[in-house]
Copies of this chain bind each other. A is one copy, B any other.
Amino acid sequence: MSQDMTLETVRALDAKDSLRAFRERFVIPDNMIYLDGNSLGPAPKSAFAALDRAANVEWGQDLIRSWNSAGWFELPLRLGDKVGELTGASAGQIAVCDSTSINIFKALSAAASLRPDRKVIVAEGTSFPTDLYIAEGFVASQPDLTLKLEGVDGDTIEELLGPDVGVVLLNHVNYRSGRLHDMKALTRRIHEAGALVVWDLCHSAGALDVQLDDCDVDFAVGCTYKYINGGPGAPAFIYVAKRHQAEARQPLSGWWGHVRPFAFEQQYEAAPAIARFLCGTQPILSMQTLSGALEAWQGVNMANLRVKSLALTDLFIKLVEERCAGFDLQLITPRNHNERGSQVGFTHPHAYEVMQALIADQVVGDFRAPDVLRFGFTPLYVSYEDVWNAIEILRDVLVTERWKEPRFATQNAVT
Q: Would you call A223 and B364 a contact (CB within 8 A)?
A: no
Residues of B contacting A257 in the complex (Cβ-Cβ under 8 angstroms): 133
**In angstroms, how far is the closest chain B Cβ from the Cβ of A271?**
12
Q: In the assembled complex, which residues on chain B have CB atoms less than 8 Å from the CB atom of A233?
A: 72, 281-285, 287
Cβ–Cβ < 8 Å partners of A369 in chain B: 262-264
Q: Beta-carbon contacts of A224-253 to B below 8 Å, as 1s and 0s? A: 010000011111100000000000011111
Q: Is the beta-carbon distance between A253 and B39 smaller than 8 angstroms?
A: no
Complex Cα distance, B99 from A286, in Å, reads 13
Report B-chain residues with C-beta under 8 Å of the C-beta of A68: 412, 414
Whether B254 contacts A101 by the Cβ 8 Å rule is yes
Q: Which residues of B contact A67 (CB under 8 A)?
A: 414
Q: How far is B55's CA from A285's CA once the two chains are assembled, in angstroms?
A: 11
Chain B residues closer than 8 Å to A267, beta-carbon distance: 132-133, 136
CA A48 to CA B414, docked complex, whole Å: 26
**Chain A interface residue number, banded:** 35 or more
Among the stretches A58-66, A298-306, A344-352, the one at the interface with B is A58-66
- Residues of B close to A46: CB separation below 8 A: none
Query: Is the CB–CB distance between A252 and B60 below 8 Å?
Result: no
| Contact residues, A53-109 vs B (CB, 8 A) | 54-56, 58-61, 63-68, 72-73, 98-102, 105, 109
Residues of B within 8 A of A366 (CB): 64
- Expressed in whole angstroms, the Cα–Cα distance for A55 and B133 within the complex equals 30
Question: Measured between alpha carbons, how far is A141 from B72 in the docked complex, in Å?
Answer: 30
CA distance A56 to B60 in the complex (A): 19
Indicate whether A134 reaches chain B with its CB closer than 8 angstroms: yes
Chain B residues with CB under 8 Å of A283's CB are 231-235, 283, 285-286
Q: How far is the CB of A375 from chain B (nearest CB, A)?
A: 13
Is the CB–CB distance between A252 and B134 below 8 Å? yes
By beta carbon, the residue of chain B nearest A231 is B285
- Contacting residue for A55 out of B36, B51, B281, CB 8 A: B51
> Once the chains bind, are A63 and B48 in contact (CB under 8 Å)?
no
Return A270 CB to nearest CB of chain B, in Å: 9
* B interface footprint on A255-278 (CB within 8 Å = 1, 0 otherwise): 111100011111110000000000
A149: interface (CB < 8 Å):
yes
Interface residue? A413 (CB, 8 A): yes
Contact code string A360-378 (vs B, CB < 8 Å = 1, else 0): 0000101011000000000
Interface string of A134-153 (1 = CB under 8 A from B): 10111011110000010000
Asked if B63 and A364 make an inter-chain contact with CB atoms under 8 angstroms apart, the answer reads yes
Q: Is the CB of A133 within 8 A of B29?
A: no
Chain B residues near A364 (CB-CB < 8 A): 63-65
Q: Which 3 A-B pairs have the closest CB atoms?
A: A99-B280, A101-B280, A101-B254
Known: A72-B233, A101-B255, A102-B254. 17 other contacts (CB 8 A): A43-B55, A48-B56, A51-B285, A64-B364, A64-B366, A98-B280, A101-B254, A101-B279, A101-B280, A102-B252, A133-B254, A232-B284, A233-B283, A233-B284, A234-B283, A262-B412, A262-B415
> Could you jot down 6 A-B contacts, CB within 8 Å?
A51-B55, A59-B231, A59-B232, A102-B102, A140-B251, A262-B412
